[in-house]
Amino acid sequence: MRNIWGTRDDERLTVNWNKLGQPDDKLATKLSSFIGTIVRDGKNAPLTYKNWHKVPAHYKDHIWALVQAQSDKNKASRAEQKYNHTTGTKSFPRVRKEQKNKLGHSPTRAHMFKVCYTKETGTPEGNESNDR
């Protein structure tokens, strides 16, 4: 984020978008993370504190409760997923663009599924094959 916040006012980072209006290049993840830092609710942790140790305990307790609640929600959601994608932080639009460049035409949904849900070893990803 430092490189984004540290840019001069006359500098611009260009993010490419696909025809669906989704960012689809390397900067897509940075864009998402940057937007996330901007939209955080300041009521959870006011920006008036320069040192984390000086933030009052009630703010820290509230933040911890939010983190735990989100973690519980994520665990429940993850348990319901039949398949886990294998592309890491790379967005699907970015994978689609890379595949389009590689193939010379837009990839089918079936091809995208195979690319996004197959491990590097070539085996399919799925909860039934995991020891959970």
93-116: average pLDDT: 92
Which pLDDT band holds residue 108 (cuts at 50, 70, 90)? Answer: very high
Please, are residues 111 and 99 in contact by the beta-carbon 8 Å criterion? yes
Sign of the alpha-carbon torsion through 26, 15, 102, 109: positive
Tell me how many degrees the CA angle 108-109-110 measures, rounded to the nearest 5: 90
3-state SS, residue 23: strand
Residues contacting 71, CB < 8 A, separation 6+:
none
pLDDT exceeds cutoff 80 at 99? yes
Q: What is the pLDDT of residues 57-98, one digit of tens each?
A: 988 888 778 767 867 877 887 788 787 788 888 888 899 999
Residue 131: the pLDDT is 46
Per mean pLDDT, which range of 25-29, 39-43, 98-102 is the poorest?
A: 39-43
